[in-house]
Amino acid sequence: MPQSPDSLTNPVPAALHGRLHAFGAVRGGAVRFDAEVSPFAGLPPTPSGDDWADLAALCEPGSPAVLVRPGDGPPDLPPGWSLVHPFPGVQMEGSGLQTEPDEHAVELGPDDRAEMAGLAARTRPGPWLERTAELGRYLGIRHDGRLVAMAGERMRLGPEGAGGACEISAVCTDEEWRGKGLAARLVRAVAAGIVARGELPVLHASAVNEGAIRLYRRMGFTITREMRFDMVQAPVTG
């Protein structure tokens, strides 16, 4: 299942120039998701001064954004920008993943948004904002009616169907339900829907979260590249 190199190595521009264009803004070489959807922003692989100026124009003065890019170190920031929080990550692809629908997983919709936000707030699987759930399909597992685990789709990369890829995200389980395999079940179930469209499941993890990386490797994911998710602050102007 061949992928466009740019769609995986520079996922935020790939998503916002492509299937998720309605969820963000593009200015020159810079892109940024809408603030209530995701903090992610992107630039060309070797950004120019004009690219950084375009990104600043997409941000509120002095506001933070998470710059997603391949690499093994923080970005070389131009004057006026500052590094708020360095964050190394890895990208993993699931061509070796055994996908499987889960009969106990339920599809989550608008009526579940408050519970989804609450679970994300308790477990902190990554950025979760007011409209994050609009990005794709989310599945959850309930116990006695309460949502105790979920996973879903975030960035959609490349074309829809064959040749495309889709990121699995928001993989989280309430603390009292961890160790029961719920996260792995949901990842396989979400991936089953992605593969059914002919797309490649991918995901991102913190480079220092060795437990999560071991789990994903056991499931059939492989690390494809180092990634950065550095929080940067736009220049203060005016």
Kindly report, residue by residue over 79-108, the tens digit of the pLDDT: 999 999 999 999 999 999 999 999 999 999
Task: Compute the Cα dihedral for 73, 29, 24, 8 and give only its sign.
Answer: negative
Q: Does domain 93-226 have CATH number 3.40.630.30?
A: yes
Query: How far is Cα 231 from Cα 122, in angstroms, rounded to an integer?
Result: 21
Q: Tell me, yes or no, if the pTM score tops 0.85.
A: yes
Question: Is the pLDDT score of 238 beyond 50?
Answer: no
Domain boundary assignment for the chain: 5-90+227-233, 93-226
Neighbours of 41 (CB within 10 A): 25
5-90+227-233 fold: Aminopeptidase (3.40.630)
For 133, the token pair is 């759930």
Residues 193-198: what's their mean pLDDT? 96
**Cα(8)–Cα(162) distance, rounded to whole angstroms?**
15
- Give 33's contacts (C-beta < 8 A, 6+ positions apart): 12, 16, 20, 23, 24, 39, 40, 41
Residue 235 CA to residue 233 CA, distance in Å, equals: 7
Q: Where are the alpha helices (DSSP H) in the chain?
A: 5-9, 11-16, 49-58, 113-123, 182-196, 210-219
